[in-house]
């Protein structure tokens, strides 16, 4: 997408949430601070890792609202800026957000060695999970009483 292209929203009714999400992604596509990884542990578990050296747990705010995981960090300056001969370690505040799927849940967060790790698990409702289908049950109810009636009637 280019910066000057606009979607014809008036031609698509009821899709505002999709256009809003595309606009959000486009506006934040160049955000690279702090650097982060998204790691797929298996089909149902993910981890988001953020490199936030110099921030303490008290400096970090993690929030989940409307399927958007927001991570904010802000800390006080450790010393006067005039004291630096060279400053290569960033201490600026940051904001990162991640859109989670409908069934994704944050299962925890941990910080170790300057890396914040947020664990995410996809929890599908029972009706969405794969089901085992037994062979030879076409047209029959799974209720034990009804299947025994069918067997008695046919005898």
pLDDT tens per residue across span 93-107: 999 999 898 899 999
For residues 63 and 71, give the distance between their C-alpha atoms in angstroms, rounded to a whole number. 7
pLDDT value of residue 109? 97
For residues 101 and 109, give the distance between their C-alpha atoms in angstroms, rounded to a whole number. 18
- Which residues, 6+ apart, have CB-to-CB distance to 22 below 8 Å? 1, 7
pLDDT tens per residue across span 10-68: 767 777 767 777 776 666 566 778 999 999 999 899 999 999 988 999 999 999 999 99
Q: Which residue's structure tokens are 């702090």?
A: 34
pTM of the model: 0.65
What are the strands of the beta sheet with 60-65, ordered from one edge? Answer: 60-65, 68-73, 94-99
| Whether pLDDT at 138 is above 50 | yes
Identify the weakest region by mean pLDDT among 36-50, 62-76, 129-143: 129-143
């Amino acid at each position: 997408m280019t910066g000057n292209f606009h979607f014809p929203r008036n031609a698509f009714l009821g899709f505002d949430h999709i256009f809003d999400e595309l606009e959000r992604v486009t506006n934040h596509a160049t955000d690279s601070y702090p650097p982060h990884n998204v790691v797929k542990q298996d089909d149902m578990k993910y981890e988001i890792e953020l490199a936030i050296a110099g921030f303490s747990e008290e400096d970090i705010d993690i929030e989940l609202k409307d399927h958007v995981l927001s991570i904010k960090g802000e800390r006080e300056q450790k010393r006067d800026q005039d004291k630096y001969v060279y400053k290569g370690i960033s201490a600026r505040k940051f904001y990162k957000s991640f859109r989670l799927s409908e069934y994704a849940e944050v299962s925890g967060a941990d910080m170790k060695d300057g890396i914040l790790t947020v664990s995410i698990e996809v929890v599908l409702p029972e009706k969405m999970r794969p089901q085992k289908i037994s062979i030879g049950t076409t047209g029959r109810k799974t209720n034990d009483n009804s299947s025994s009636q069918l067997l008695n009637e046919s005898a």
